[in-house]
Amino acid sequence: MDTRGLTVDLALPGGTVRVEMDVPMGEVPMERLLPALRTTADAFVAYGAEMSVAAGKPVSCAKGCGACCRQLIPLAHAEARAIAALVEELPEPRRSEVKERFEGAFRRVEAAGLAPALEGRTGRMAAEAVDLGLQYMGLGIACPFLEDESCSIYAERPIACREYLVTSPPARCAAPTVETIEAVSLPTRVWAAAAREEKGIANTDPAPCVPLVVALRWAASARDAAPLRPGPEILQKVYARFARDRRGEGFGR
Ligand code: SF4
DSSP, residue by residue, 218-238: HHHH--SPPP-EEHHHHHHHH
Residue type, 223: R
- Whether ligand 1 lies within 6 angstroms of the CB of 98 is answered as no
Ligand 1 contact via 146 beta carbon (within 6 Å): yes
Protein residue whose Cα sits closest to atom 8 of ligand 1: 69
Q: If you measure from the C-alpha of residue 208 to the centroid of ligand 1, how many angstroms do you get, rounded to a whole number?
A: 20
For residues 6 and 133, the model is more confident at: 6
Give the residue-averaged pLDDT of 149-156: 94
- Report CA(161)–ligand 1 centroid distance (Å): 6
**Can you give the pLDDT at residue 122?**
55
Q: How far is the CA of 216 from the centre of ligand 1 (A)?
A: 15
Sign of the alpha-carbon dihedral angle for 12, 166, 122, 135: negative
Tens of pLDDT, residue by residue over 56-105, are: 999 998 888 888 899 899 999 999 999 999 999 999 999 999 999 999 99
Put simply, whether the predicted model's pTM sits higher than 0.75 gets the answer yes
Residue 160 CA, closest ligand 1 atom number: 4
157 Cα to the center of ligand 1, angstroms: 6
Which DSSP string do the residues of 28-85 spell out, in sequence order? E-GGGGHHHHHHHHHHHHHHHHHHHHHTT------TT--GGGGS--EE-HHHHHHHHH
